[in-house]
Amino acid sequence: MSLNRQSAPDFKTVDQFNLLPIDTFELDNGIKVHLLQAGSQEVAKIDFLFPAGSIQANKSLLSSVCNKAICEGSKKYTSSEISEKIDFYGAYIGQQAQFHHAIITLISLTHFLPETLEILEDIIKHPTFEQKEIDTILEKRKQEFLIEGDKVKTIATRAYTQNVFGKEHPYGNYLELSAFDDISREDLVDFHKKAYIPTGTHIIISGQPGDKIQQLLNKHFGQQWSDASPLKDRKPEPQSEIKKNIFIEKADALQSALKIGRPLFNKLHPDFHGMQILNTILGGYFSSRLMTNIREEKGLTYGISSFIMTYKHSGFLVISTDVKAENRELAVKEVFNELKRLREELISEDELTLVRNFLSGDVIRNFDGPFATSDNYRGLLDLDISPEYFHDFFDKLMSINAKELQVLAKKYLQEEDFITVVAGK
């Protein structure tokens, strides 16, 4: 059969969404395991989610440095031996420190799971926290902090989140240079002991882990290795007074970074799905209103986007871009013009169809295979939301109309509710 290069491939819209089945079971010590068994390759990804995020830590950097240092040496293995053994088995160990969880990920060939899980058990339960390794981690993080902190985009981002949540709240991302000298080995040992515990821990498995995965997990992680209870969330009250306009001058900056946004809500809110769709129209994809106006028509920036960030206790919407200083006022004006248009004018059926097609395709891409599905599913665990959440979004996407979107715009896109942060010239 010859390929006809004169005609485009058939276009097909997505009219249904099928999520891979997710099974759950508990280990002997109560750890809840979520299993997405699918795929044709004999490989598995195992995510351990410990209640050891920055919102549980009592110091800046404590969660992220502890999570990184755990894999730099254990009771049985030195840091180099861990790397050599993991490489030998063709496996991978990664780490992420988030607000509500510290995540350690193992990707391993199914055949070698008995060996790789044995290594991971020693890493998680018996890290040595060698001072040399801690110093290396802290020095690297310090250099990253200094380099990033000089960028107007970072300055604006920090000012925005600190304005919304306050410097004392973990969501505020407030960090001072002195914090790098305030983390001791004793802090890490103590935090590990209190936070890397069975209670409150989740394990997400995706791929093909084999028929003996429950037995293997029980062998290495099913014992009650700690009786500690999860640390309480450190969540001071958000700012009582939020500044509506912030300008941070940086004389040597080539551009001005803009952050325009407002506090919002988390995924449990009944308007959340609708706001995701409205945000996509505003600035959530390449053909969005903001990109069309501010980039394509007026040429004020290379790129502009809006997105919704959600956490366990809160959330916010923010529009982000970089512009030349002389274009800053016009860019801000046009952002608010686009908010006004969404409040006052109904979205055309053609534009709504375009957004539906984009988002439905995006949903399919985001759940293409067990690994991608597990990454998205992981975001539901903080709020104890069932996987039906994804079906609910797809149903809302297919059913929402222009009038409903305008109601949301009038409710949540009022100019007086927005904060404008500028960093640069």
User: Does the structure show a pLDDT above 70 at 15?
Assistant: no
CB neighbours (10 Å) of residue 382?
20
Of 188, 221, 254, the last residue of a domain is 221
Residue 172 lies in a domain: yes
Helix axes 388-399, 272-279, angle to 10 degrees: 60
Q: How confident is the model at residue 10 (pLDDT cuts 50, 70, 90)?
A: low
pLDDT of 251 reads 87
Q: How confident is the model at residue 233 (pLDDT cuts 50, 70, 90)?
A: confident
Residue 9 lies in a domain: no
pLDDT of 235 reads 73
User: Does the structure show a pLDDT above 90 at 234?
Assistant: no
Q: How confident is the model at residue 37 (pLDDT cuts 50, 70, 90)?
A: very high
pLDDT of 219 reads 97
Residue 410 lies in a domain: yes
Q: Domain check: are 194 and 265 in the same one?
A: no
Q: Domain check: are 213 and 258 in the same one?
A: no
- In this structure, of 22-31, 126-135, 237-246, 387-396, the range with the lowest mean pLDDT score is 237-246
Q: Domain check: are 255 and 144 in the same one?
A: no
Of 161, 188, 221, the last residue of a domain is 221
Tokens 């759950």 belong to: 24
Q: Domain check: are 203 and 88 in the same one?
A: yes
- Tally the domains of the chain: 2
The 10s digit of each residue's pLDDT in 311-361 is 998 999 999 999 999 999 999 999 999 999 999 999 999 999 999 999 999
Q: Domain limits at 322? A: 245-424
Q: Domain check: are 310 and 359 in the same one?
A: yes
Residue 147 lies in a domain: yes
Give phi and psi for 243, each to the nearest 5. -70, 135
Q: Domain check: are 250 and 197 in the same one?
A: no
166/313 Cα distance (integer angstroms): 14
Residue 238 lies in a domain: no
Instruction: Find the CATH number of the domain harbouring 340.
Output: 3.30.830.10
